Chains A and B, each alone.
Chain A
Amino acid sequence: MWFPVSLNLKKPVNSKFTQQELPACKPILSPGWVITTFAFIGLIFIPVGLASLFASQRVVEIVDRYDVACVPEHLQDDKLAYIQNSTVDKTCTRKLKVPRLMRSPIFIYYELENFYQNHRRYVKSRSDKQLRSREGESDTESCSPEAKTSNGSVIVPCGLIAWSMFNDTYGFSINSKVLDVNKKDIAWNSDKYHKFGSDVYPKNFQSGPFIGGGKLNSSIPLSEQEDLIVWMRTAALPTFRKLYGKIEVDLEPNEEIMVTIHNNYNTYSFGGKKRLVLSTTSWIGGKNDFLGMAYLTFGGLSLLIAATFILIHLIRPRSLGDPSYLSWNKNPAGYSN
């Protein structure tokens, strides 16, 4: 650009914004401020931590691992054969003792361990389009290898996730009196109403040579198959819990619950564990001591840091804005005159 062109330039606007003089706060980490902040955070966090720890402690949780116990003695050596044998009766009974009063609602979870629901091959193997509406039925591209039956007709719901649906069932009774398990509203509403269509019915499901997990009633639309919906929301970690149902009566202490388990699901081939969990909730959710501990730890740390700073400040105070810290004052050779 080689021209003596006078560029048409305007006079700058004289405003606080253009001159970069907007009012600003410049927080300075002065010792007083820092110590106060830390102390304050500590004082807030410790009660919060105590409260959540307390809340977590109030949550009553019964965990029962049944995958080994439910295999008959003589079959313990080859659990895989047991589970794959469809002729064997898989019913098994467990007795659970209520340690403390459990107020309703009591949530029933199943917990799987060492199950990679987050494996990429697994997570990808579903078709949201197909699940959402009937029009997307043939959209099974992503579902491989569980997309179509051997004769080429589409599977609804397709994919490995649905195919491997958990199918153990639990029945509860106290003193031979059956406890009702409410299996409604165990899935997220957004899933029920937006992600799983009410006009989508299972089709050709579990009809292939390999049977994965549970089967579905093909007369009920997907949006009402809440077990499936829960299962389809893949877990982030290889150990996970999923909601099975709710018991809507209080359980008295020391009551003994009879659980009738249909132990159908195969976790034996990969050494996974199965647990049944009964839990109440509190305002922090389920039982989670970690949150309270974390609050306590950081609250404590904050207080400790505050105390340390107070000590440092008392022993070796650095007066703020002390010019002797300026680089040209620190270096004696810097400016001599």
Chain B
Amino acid sequence: MARPGRRRDKLRWSKLYTFSCVRPAVLLDTENPPSLQGPGSPASYPSNYISTTKYNIITFLPKALFEQFRRVANIYFLLAAILSLTPVAPFSAVSMIAPLCFVVGLSMAKEALEDWRRFVQDMKVNSRKVSIHKGGGKFAYKPWQTIRVGDIVKVEKDQFFPADLLLMSSSYDDGICYVETMNLDGETNLKVKRCLEATLPLDDNTAFQDFSAIIRCEDPNPNLYSFVGNFEYDQQVFALDPSQILLRDSKLRNTSYVFGVAIFTGHDSKVMQNATSSPSKRSRIEKKMDQIIYILFTLLVLISLISSIGFAVKTKYGMPEWWYLQPLRTTNLFDPSQPALSGIFHLVTALILYGYLLPISLYVSIELVKVLQAMFINQDIQMYDEETGKPAQARTSNLNEELGQVDTILSDKTGTLTCNQMDFLKCSIAGVSYGIGSSEVEIAAAKQMASEISGAHERVSSSQNPWENNAFRTSEIELESGITCKIDKVRKSAVKGFIFEDNRLMEGNWSKEASADVILLFFRILALCHTAIPEANEETGSFNYESESPDEGAFLVAAREFGFEFCKRTQSSVFVRERHSSSHPIEREFKVLNILEFNSKRKRMSVIVRDESDQILLLCKGADSIIFDKLSKNGRIYEEETCKHLCEYGEAGLRTLALAYRKLEESEYSAWNTEFLKVKTTIGPERDALLENMADLMERDLILVGATAVEDKLQKGVAQCIDKLAQAGLKIWVLTGDKMETAINIGFACSLLRQGMKQICISTTTADQNISLQITNASQMIKLEKDPHAAFALIIDGKTLSYALEEDMRYAFLNLAVDCASVICCRVSPKQKAMVTRLVKEGTGKTTLAIGDGANDVGMIQEADIGVGISGVEGMQAVMASDFSIAQFRFLERLLVVHGHWCYKRIAQMICYFFYKNIAFGLTLFYFEAYTGFSGQSVYDDWYMLLFNVILTSLPVISLGVFEQDVSSEVCLQFPALYQQGPKNLFFDWYRILGWMANGIYSSLAIFFLSINIFYNQAFRAGGQTADMIALTMSHFTWIQHLFVWGSVATWYLFLLGYGITSPLYSRNAYKILIEALAPAPSTGSVNPLDHHVIQEIKYYGKDVEDRHMWTRERSKARQETKIGFSARVDAKIRQLKGKLQKKYSSMGVLQSA
């Protein structure tokens, strides 16, 4: 391991860490070992081979068949096919069995293909290489799947752990390592793991030559945060706990390598134990489609009954006279002496005969169409992310149309809305705010205002998409608040993590500022108060930092840019290269005495350092609320100013931290430290509390230095996307594991919150009663609100949420949440995310969409009607659990507003059309029965019927389902309100479905009786032969094909020619009439055109080109009334300005009149 970072591996972090590491190894009492199973033989453990496929070669056929016949319609067709082998059947057996085989075969082929893909993916994982001990102290790279329990594995930096491992040793001397568990729980903070003292010496390949030990541990289970086991080595038994366990699919970070022993492999590993098969989701339309199928079933049974009663009557009274049927030599099927029995047999026949009412190819056609639709989604270049090279992906194709009906979006924050990349933007030092750069929110707001002001004083242009408008990019605009903000054309981002701009601090100019000493201190806090490790970057000669959180990294980069370059960390010291003004840099050493590290409960972190002048300092950074509580009396000089700045930063959507310090006397420190060390070595459950108390003792009487503002960069286009989605009438909830402040900041940044919105914060004060009271009060408040523009935002934290989600309160909570324009839930656990999603889904009964990127979002993604995974970042778990994956949040707009809208309409119309055509077709069979004495004779030829359903009439409908566009994608995006046609379900409500059905009945009547009359008794061909049954058939339905796809007509005639019966000359006459019979199209001259009709018309007449003004005005109005999003924010601002203006005028008027 001759790596440059080797030296830092000598660090003994455990000495410094307070909370996470130091925990003396517990020597177990060997007499009384916990009852744990000993190791079994290696053969009894599963291999590390994992398989996520649904089927294997043997099980495929039975399982897949079973899946297919779970569909009611398919069972019906199966029964029909079986019965077709008996004389009851009206058709030949093959014409019943062939389409069923075709349809089921096609679906199964699709299943097989999907499963094959999964298999290939599994294989990729299984064959990843990892270094495994192969005996004699030698390691070799082998595929993951070869790992067996007990194998020693060496994992290198940034590799995933191939199985659940017991950490033996790491490249650090004290055997710690950093693990990123983002794939497991979505937390981006690195976790520290530490090996047992006993295995520390095993830090070299050769050390494992004769290594042997026994591990006894619990059975495989899905609990990620617990582990019970012990480790027998050198005749000693050590207890194991979760901090020694490296879980599969987490990643080794900031550590060169670790050695570990595989303890759970393959499906035994915790992550696999956690894997729940994602629930199969069905779209609303499909569920409704089932209901329609039931309706058709009822219709089927009804007409079958009518027909068999008719048959029984005819058989009883008519049949004995029909000598040509030889009524005396008949079977049960046509026995005039037993009409009832014959009637029952006939019922079966009729059920099969009229089966054409049910579209057998519907399911398979829908599946086919959806796959093609999904292909179009995958192929959409406008949802392709150039940076990561990832296109959008429809992972399941059965929810395409559901995309067009979404009502509520539940979004994760980190990684979804934000990039989780922090940029140091502003700071406030000694009560002075530095940093003239603007946050994205400010820039956007300024641009918007600029376009407002210039766009005449009318509202008209307010809808202009501010981001499209280049005219004001570089203009200087005075914002209402009085802040002058310069909008740069391109924000400088030469240094990653640092977009700060202010000459007062840069280039060493800070030393000329009034409070230079405070500034110096501020920079030192930035450079010292962290747990990062520098890594020399040979290209630039500077350092990169490996930090636990991106905030910290941003601080260090900022410190570096300010001239305080953190360059080295040793066991006890931090070295900082300080460059005051332009002088030569001086390397200063700061002895780190203690680190009181960050955790979410403390919300702060401190280091205690001794500088070169032996002064002991406690440097602290933390959430402003916490720090302000701990200030000393004379430490509050800048409090007021800083507070104001913090407010401004927060409003600008920035993440803020306050910095403070405390000077310590030698004696005070040593007294504290002895006590602290004592506490550190105690064992027992009270240790954590004691440690915290000790930390509290130290972290008090602080002196405020300033505050930092870091921009958690929103992902590209998030604000615009949210704006558009809000205009499309979608509600957006943010569910984040982050703390409330951050969540609120982001809420501001992406315009879910704005100044002037009434924030309803619901938080716990332990009592259950209180929360329900808070909810009722808030609901009351909303009800009493008179101002139509008043907007409410609900902010609730995880702890409160756990009460609010309880049975008795959840609906009150939901009602409140639905009334609010924005809902932000912070500090929620993955499980709560899923619960909230379920609450919204079940409580409102509307379609929910969950979007997230991390493993912590998996629950919510699986629970929601549609789960969308962000595939931009590393973790793929969310993507794996999702139904759709996109690379960036902003693609959601196109996915929903364009593809969702299209798919919804396509599928809805396609299904309606299927039912229409089958009703039209099936009923003609019924009418014909009346002419055959209800004998069950079909009017059409078997093969024609077979092909009718499966091929002839499917193709046009499928092409409708794949290609139909009511309006182009641009129009969809310009008129987000068109999206509401989906959630309102305008195209698949019962009214419309029944309309289609009625149309089907009407068509069947028209077709049948016109045909009958036209062909009744007339000389049919030039030769004078009369028409027979098949001639009748032939003319039927050609018009359907004519109406839709000419290609299908060609097929039809080819088919007929192939069938070789007659010339198609006459069908022309028939179809023209029939088209005409149906011509009075439903929408012509209707008084209530739907929106898309009007827009189509506008487009058609080129009005949009002629009348720009009207077009933009309508575009602006086409927004759903929304209270969130950028546009709403601008509207609110404009209202405010107008209000002010009015007041001014009126007061002037008063003056004048006086």
Contacts and interface: CB of A to CB of B under 8 A. Distances in A.
Interface stretch (A94-102, A109-117, A198-206): A109-117
Contact of A187 (B1025, B1090, B1119): B1025
A246 interface: yes
A122 B1114 contact: no
Nearest to A20: B376
A152 interface: no
B466 interface: no
Interface in B1071-1117: 1072-1073, 1076-1077, 1079-1081, 1083-1085, 1087-1091, 1094-1101, 1103, 1110, 1113-1114, 1117
Contact of A239 (B1013, B1017, B1098, B1121): B1017
A121 B1025 contact: no
B330 to A, nearest CB: 7
A2 B378 contact: no
Contact of A5 (B334, B378, B876, B1016): B876
A62 interface: no
Interface stretch (B356-364, B808-816, B826-834, B934-942): B934-942
A134 interface: no
Interface stretch (A71-79, A249-257, A328-336): A328-336
Interface string B1014-1030: 11111111111111110
Interface stretch (B1-9, B383-391, B532-540): B383-391
A305 interface: yes
Contacts of A261: none
Nearest to B278: A1
A269 B321 CA distance: 6
A122 B1069 contact: no
B121 A234 contact: no
B932 A291 contact: no
Contacts of A237: 931, 1012, 1016
B933 interface: yes
Contacts, number: 285
B1131 interface: yes
Given A12-B384, A120-B90, A326-B1094, A241 B324 contact: no
Given A294-B1014, A295-B1073, A3 B393 contact: no
B469 interface: no
A11 B391 contact: yes
Contacts of A196: none
Nearest to A210: B326
Task: Give the interface size bracket for A toward B.
Answer: 35 or more
Contacts of B275: 1-2
A312 to B, nearest CB: 6
Interface in B124-147: 124-125
Interface stretch (A172-180, A217-225, A279-287): A279-287
Contact of B935 (A116, A212, A326): A116
A305 B1080 contact: yes
A66 interface: no
Contact of B1118 (A212, A287, A328): A328
A290 B880 contact: no
Contact of A335 (B160, B326, B378, B1119): B1119
Nearest to A309: B1085
B385 to A, nearest CB: 10
A290 B1110 contact: no
A335 B1072 CA distance: 47
Interface string A19-63: 111101010111100100010010001000000000000000000
Most chain-A CB neighbours within 10 Å: which of B1021, B1094, B1113? B1094
Contacts of A11: 381, 384, 389, 391
A50 to B, nearest CB: 15
A186 B1100 CA distance: 57
B932 A146 contact: no
B727 to A, nearest CB: 11
Contacts of B10: none
Contacts of A230: 1025
B876 A4 contact: yes
A134 B874 CA distance: 75
Given A2-B52, A34-B1085, A145-B326, A119 B1117 contact: no
B271 interface: yes
Contacts of A28: 1096-1097, 1100
A243 B329 CA distance: 30
Contacts of B249: 2-4
Contacts of B877: 2, 4
A62 to B, nearest CB: 14
A214 interface: no
Contacts of A121: 325, 330, 333-334, 935
Given A122-B325, A286-B1017, A13 B965 contact: no
A236 B1017 CA distance: 10
B293 interface: no
A31 to B, nearest CB: 7
Contacts of B1125: none
A190 B52 contact: no
Given A2-B249, A2-B272, A279 B1019 contact: yes
Contacts of A10: 391
A120 B1024 contact: no
B1094 A285 contact: no
A107 to B, nearest CB: 4
B406 to A, nearest CB: 19
B516 interface: no
Most chain-B CB neighbours within 10 Å: which of A123, A230, A266, A323? A323
B390 A285 contact: no
B1097 A321 contact: yes
A236 B1076 contact: no
A232 to B, nearest CB: 10
Nearest to A327: B1091
Given A2-B271, A24-B965, A28-B1096, A236 B939 contact: yes
B1147 interface: no
B318 interface: yes
Interface string A111-146: 100011011111100000000000000000000111
Contact of B969 (A20, A122, A313): A20
B852 to A, nearest CB: 15
Contact of A4 (B160, B274, B333, B937): B160
Nearest to A27: B1100
Contacts of B1027: 236
Contacts of B333: 121
A160 interface: yes
A248 B977 CA distance: 74
A243 B1019 CA distance: 9
Contact of B390 (A1, A9, A327, A334): A9
A6 interface: yes
Interface in A287-337: 287-288, 290-291, 294-295, 298, 301-302, 305, 309, 312-313, 318, 320-323, 325-329, 334-337
Given A118-B937, A312-B1085, A328-B977, A323 B384 contact: no
A335 B933 contact: no
A146 B324 CA distance: 11
B861 to A, nearest CB: 12
Nearest to B1017: A241
Interface string A151-195: 000000000100110000000000000000000011110100010
Interface string B1031-1057: 110000000000000000000000000
B483 interface: no
Contacts of B121: 1, 3, 5, 7
Given A119-B933, A121-B334, 13 more contacts: A3-B52, A19-B379, A21-B969, A24-B965, A119-B937, A160-B324, A163-B324, A190-B1060, A270-B322, A281-B1022, A294-B1073, A327-B1091, A328-B1118
17 contacts: A4-B875, A4-B876, A5-B124, A7-B121, A7-B876, A9-B391, A20-B376, A28-B1100, A163-B324, A187-B1025, A236-B1031, A238-B931, A240-B1026, A322-B1094, A323-B1094, A323-B1110, A326-B1094
